[in-house]
Homo-oligomer: A and B are copies of this chain.
Amino acid sequence: MNTHHLCLGILSLGEASGYEIKKAFEETFCHFQATSFGSIYPALAKLTEQGLVSFREETQEKRPTKKVFTITPAGHEHFYQTLLKSEPAEQYRSDFLFLMMFAHLLPQEHIKTLLNKQTENLEMELGILERILTECQTLTPGMRFTLEYGVTGNKALLKLMQQRSLQLLNEIDAARSPQES
């Protein structure tokens, strides 16, 4: 799944400009997909070239002119085929867990800071997901599911962070002490 597919996906829900597609990824999909302008604009140009989307220019008062993209029937078909042949893969990369692996090398205060930041990050994301779930009325069942998936994971991890943080610090301390004495 690359930026081309992400753009087609958003456009399958309704027309949008490149800027609006980016916003969708910052708002509704940020917890499981991300992309940047540097990928979106070239992707839209390529999709237009391939006839999978078309656009009209919309002049606005007091705002720059924007290109509003619409998915074509060929685009719908192409996106459908992509969905059918895609595997439900996941990739998770965590610098936080990598840092925790080497917590025994770090000063206790620094570990505390990292654990607090991670907890804050999880809380912030949880807040965003819950806000969308309650505020947005136009969500498809699938979208609601993805948000609940995020909420469930974050809640469980937050609980672990609260239960295990102190224990981790003590364990590291205990492993360090024998060598210092």
Chain A interface (Cβ < 8 Å from any Cβ of B) = 1, 5-6, 9, 12, 29, 31-34, 79-80, 83-84, 86-106, 110, 114, 117-118, 121, 140-146, 148-149, 152-153, 155-157, 159-160, 164, 168, 171-172, 175
Contacts and interface: CB of A to CB of B under 8 A. Distances in A.
Tell me which of A80, A83, A84, A91 has the highest count of chain B C-beta atoms within 10 A of its own C-beta. Answer: A83
Which 6 interchain pairs have the tightest Cβ spacing?
A156-B156, A88-B96, A141-B171, A103-B142, A32-B94, A32-B97
A100 B12 contact: no
A155 B79 CA distance: 32
Q: Residue among A5, A32, A153, A175 with the most chain B CB within 10 A?
A: A32
A100 B34 contact: no
Nearest to A141: B171
Contacts of A159: 152
Given A92-B93, A103-B141, 15 more contacts: A9-B102, A32-B92, A33-B93, A33-B98, A83-B102, A83-B105, A90-B94, A90-B96, A91-B94, A101-B142, A104-B140, A141-B175, A142-B172, A149-B157, A153-B157
